[in-house]
Structure 1
Amino acid sequence: MSDAHDKTEDPTSKKLTDTRKKGQIARSKELSTALVLVSSALALMFMGSYIAEAMFKISQRTFTLSRDETYDYNHMFQAWGHALETVSMSVLSFLVIIAIAGIYGNIALGGYNFTWESASPKASKINPLAGFKRMFGMNGLVELLKALAKFVVVAAMAYLAMVIFHDEALHIDMELYPMNLFHAMDLISWGFLIMCCALIPIAAFDVPYQAWKHDKEMKMSKQEVKDERKNSEGDPQVKSRIRRLQYQAAAKRMMQQVPTADVVVTNPTHYSIALKYDQMGTTAPILVAKGVDELAMHIRKIANAHDVPIVESPMLARAIYYSTEADHPIPEKLFMAVAQVLAYVYQLKAYKKGKGKRPKALRKDLPIPPELRR
């Protein structure tokens, strides 16, 4: 297991994706709590009067019953319906604002992430040793300091609210009804807002701390990065064996095409190029096989066994080898040089059949562009 001091590398995208699937993302409970409480206080300030007015209507309706209505069971249910209808809109709006604040507070840091894996039971969560380690570790100390800070700051803000609204609160009972009800709701809203604002500096500290903590936990050691790259890209020995098998398969496939070639151009000792040209077609000459050293010798051996002409042109052989892949047409810049080779081969075949003169030796200075010379 890597030591924490060895984890100096930034996390890879794969690790970030895997840990996110496990639910390991940066989260700040203080930010969520602060947003919910501050939003609740602001919503109470703007909607408190509506809620107070609804409560006033409900109390006015329920405390002004006639004698007949008091003994009427049906009227009781009507009164309940009236109370629900009166208060539902304001209370429902208040709850919607709190719900939106709660959802946004939970995804503001780290983004939206839903996974069942984080909710699955884990032995480490009920392990006493792991619990003690969390309690007395660095994270436990920070949580203790935050709890003490919240207590001190909230108590200080509560005391400030009591000092500010002390006189008004004591004189509410001297005000006329229902103005005292609205005034009390106003005092409660402001006092609640002041106390909730005490959580803003706590959240302002906790957000960067949680982001820093998450980044630190995601750090990887150099060995972990190497191991992950090895696992994702595959074992180098396995990859080497796969490449070797692929090369052998490609070489076998090319050797099967050599007998169909019109000419083999050689270096003559290191390179061999097998070309095929369809005189009735319109495509350029096709490279059907190529090889160096042992594979080049094998191509020449197959060509001799199947009477495929072999022409020595070191510069052209190297140019085609490095510029063209098997089963692909040669570059347009080599058309003229290859045309001269094919013309020589066709004339040589005709001469051997007694249908023409012996062709002149192939020119050594074939027209090969400088950028294709090797």
Structure 2
Amino acid sequence: MAEGQDNDDRTEEPTERRLEEAIKRGDVPKSVEVNTWFVLGGFTLAVLVLAAPVAQGLSASLKVFLMNAHAVPSSADGFLAAGRRALAAGLWALVLPCGLLLLAALGGALVQNKPLWTLTPLMPQLSRISPGAGFKRIFGREALVQFGKGLLKIAIIGALAWTVLWGERDRLDVLARLDPVAILPASQDLVLKLMTAVLAALAFLAAGDFLYQRFSWRKRLRMTKQELKQEFKETEGNPEIKSRVRQLRTTRAKKRMMAAVPKATVVIANPTHFAVALRYDKKMPAPVCVAKGVDALALRIRALAEESGVAVVENPPLARTLYAAVEIDAEIPVEHYKAVAEVIGYVLRLRGRAS
């Protein structure tokens, strides 16, 4: 019951991180039907391309053996040597067909997933020997799906074999009376016809199973909302910590900004809402904004400037414009040079008169 509830809680689609971790563990979607289709395709290709050369090679080896049977020593060593030669000829004839089937099986695996090296699937797991897990594997939904696919394949192959062979029933009677040399070409044509029909029918089953396995794999890896939040914390960081870090950075930036106000040349403000502190000397290409603020922060900048002897000039339009147009530690835009120059010139003239 708890497991069913847990599955019901897994409503969120798996993240890329969860999918990647599953792939690293060797947990990937695999369709047996795709592998079967590729192996059958490799077998069909082997019959089409290699059946005649392999049969001719075996026939030639057998002919040589029969023609020289009198030369085989009647001792145990002689029979053993002849058996070795016959076994070597048979194995050599199977090398290419078996190699082609192996390549077909690898192709079926590579079509579904990228190459992956992991020993995790080979590690012992208690779930594999658990009676409950074993019962679920035998009588669960996946077992029923596999059983249904097996019945469907038997029905498809049986129907195709009946259709193809029934149409060739006259040839089957003739095959029994043919010369052994002619049996191979005739049976090869019949096998290819049957395998082509089977491959065409199983292609749809393999494609459907491939999509089903992908869907089932992603569904099995779905996450609960709590797992999603926990992964977000692990990957993006704890939101509370990130908020605290941003708060500390903002506080430090304000402290540095307020420390720069006493060094400013002028503070341009409106009565209460905006304040922009500018610093300028003859070595600078343009005035630089060293501090700015609105409302309470603007009042603090203005108060600190007055305490430090920095001139405060009230110019509401220019204060609002500069606050929106310039960032801290940045030069003022060119279009504001004239207005700011008039203010700074006025402040410098006041300083000159005072001195």
Check if 1:29 corresponds to 2:32: yes
Name whichever of 97-106 and 107-116 sits farther off: 107-116
Letter in structure 2 aligned against 1:338 = V
* Structure 1 residues 4 and 332: alpha-carbon distance in aligned structure 2, compared to 1, 3 A threshold: farther
Check if 1:255 corresponds to 2:243: no
Alignment counterpart, residue 209 of structure 2, candidates 206, 209, 212: 206
Q: Following TM superposition, by how much is the alpha carbon of 1:244 offset from its aligned partner in structure 2, in angstroms?
A: 0.9
Cα pair 1:34 1:197 within 8 Å, conserved: no
* Structure 1 residues 88 and 309: alpha-carbon distance in aligned structure 2, compared to 1, 3 A threshold: farther
* Structure 1 residues 30 and 177: alpha-carbon distance in aligned structure 2, compared to 1, 3 A threshold: closer
Name whichever of 303-312 and 236-245 sits farther off: 303-312
* Structure 1 residues 287 and 266: alpha-carbon distance in aligned structure 2, compared to 1, 3 A threshold: same
Check if 1:287 corresponds to 2:289: yes
Letter in structure 2 aligned against 1:20 = I
Match of 1:350 in 2: 352
* Structure 1 residues 343 and 93: alpha-carbon distance in aligned structure 2, compared to 1, 3 A threshold: farther
Unaligned runs of 5+ in 1: 354-374
Q: How big is each residue's C-alpha offset from its partner over 1:224-258, in whole Å with a ceiling of 9 and x where there is no partner?
A: 54554455433332222111100111112223322
* Structure 1 residues 298 and 159: alpha-carbon distance in aligned structure 2, compared to 1, 3 A threshold: same
Check if 1:153 corresponds to 2:131: no
* Structure 1 residues 316 and 115: alpha-carbon distance in aligned structure 2, compared to 1, 3 A threshold: farther
Cα pair 1:262 1:277 within 8 Å, conserved: yes
Alignment counterpart, residue 104 of structure 1, candidates 107, 127, 131: 107
Partner-residue secondary structure (3-state), 1:23 = coil
Q: How big is each residue's C-alpha offset from its partner over 1:331-351, in whole Å with a ceiling of 9 and x where there is no partner?
A: 222222211111111111111
Q: Following TM superposition, by how much is the alpha carbon of 1:263 offset from its aligned partner in structure 2, in angstroms?
A: 1.6
Cα pair 1:52 1:182 within 8 Å, conserved: no
Match of 1:18 in 2: 21
Partner-residue secondary structure (3-state), 2:277 = strand
Tell me the distance in 1 between the aligned counterparts of 2:46 and 2:210: 24
For 1:139-288, list aligned pairs within 5 A.
Answer: 139-160=142-163, 163-164=166-167, 167-169=170-172, 171-172=174-175, 174-191=177-194, 199-220=202-223, 224-282=227-285, 284-288=286-290
Match of 1:363 in 2: none
Letter in structure 2 aligned against 1:32 = N
Match of 1:337 in 2: 339
Tell me the distance in 1 between the aligned counterparts of 2:225 and 2:272: 46
Tell me the distance in 1 between the aligned counterparts of 2:24 and 2:96: 34
Partner-residue secondary structure (3-state), 1:311 = strand
Alignment counterpart, residue 133 of structure 1, candidates 133, 136, 140: 136
* Structure 1 residues 328 and 352: alpha-carbon distance in aligned structure 2, compared to 1, 3 A threshold: same
Q: Following TM superposition, by how much is the alpha carbon of 1:28 offset from its aligned partner in structure 2, in angstroms?
A: 0.9
Cα pair 2:265 2:280 within 8 Å, conserved: yes
Partner-residue secondary structure (3-state), 1:178 = helix
TM-score of the superposition, structure 2-length normalised?
Answer: 0.80
Cα pair 2:269 2:316 within 8 Å, conserved: yes
Q: How many residues align?
A: 352
Q: Following TM superposition, by how much is the alpha carbon of 1:144 offset from its aligned partner in structure 2, in angstroms?
A: 1.6
Q: Following TM superposition, by how much is the alpha carbon of 1:56 offset from its aligned partner in structure 2, in angstroms?
A: 1.4
Cα pair 1:48 1:189 within 8 Å, conserved: no
Tell me the distance in 2 between the aligned counterparts of 1:4 and 1:256: 58
Cα pair 2:72 2:82 within 8 Å, conserved: no
Cα pair 1:265 1:313 within 8 Å, conserved: yes
Cα pair 1:2 1:221 within 8 Å, conserved: no
Q: Following TM superposition, by how much is the alpha carbon of 1:44 offset from its aligned partner in structure 2, in angstroms?
A: 1.1
CA-based RMSD of the aligned residues comes to 3.7
Tell me the distance in 2 between the aligned counterparts of 1:116 and 1:321: 61
Q: How big is each residue's C-alpha offset from its partner over 1:190-246, in whole Å with a ceiling of 9 and x where there is no partner?
A: 555556666445324422322332343344455554554455433332222111100
* Structure 1 residues 94 and 333: alpha-carbon distance in aligned structure 2, compared to 1, 3 A threshold: farther
Match of 1:38 in 2: 41
Tell me the distance in 1 between the aligned counterparts of 2:240 and 2:132: 42
* Structure 1 residues 231 and 57: alpha-carbon distance in aligned structure 2, compared to 1, 3 A threshold: same
Letter in structure 2 aligned against 1:105 = G
Partner-residue secondary structure (3-state), 2:253 = helix
* Structure 1 residues 251 and 138: alpha-carbon distance in aligned structure 2, compared to 1, 3 A threshold: same
Partner-residue secondary structure (3-state), 2:275 = strand
Partner-residue secondary structure (3-state), 1:273 = strand
Name whichever of 340-349 and 325-334 sits farther off: 325-334
* Structure 1 residues 326 and 117: alpha-carbon distance in aligned structure 2, compared to 1, 3 A threshold: farther
Q: Following TM superposition, by how much is the alpha carbon of 1:30 offset from its aligned partner in structure 2, in angstroms?
A: 1.0
Task: Provide the identity percentage.
Answer: 34
Q: How big is each residue's C-alpha offset from its partner over 1:105-157, in whole Å with a ceiling of 9 and x where there is no partner?
A: 22334555554444444333332212222322221211121222233333444
Q: Following TM superposition, by how much is the alpha carbon of 1:159 offset from its aligned partner in structure 2, in angstroms?
A: 4.6
Tell me the distance in 2 between the aligned counterparts of 1:73 and 1:333: 109
Letter in structure 1 aligned against 2:323 = Y
Tell me the distance in 1 between the aligned counterparts of 2:282 and 2:114: 65
Match of 1:327 in 2: 329
Match of 2:318 in 1: 316
Q: Following TM superposition, by how much is the alpha carbon of 1:95 offset from its aligned partner in structure 2, in angstroms?
A: 3.7
Tell me the distance in 1 between the aligned counterparts of 2:77 and 2:262: 104
Cα pair 1:55 1:87 within 8 Å, conserved: yes
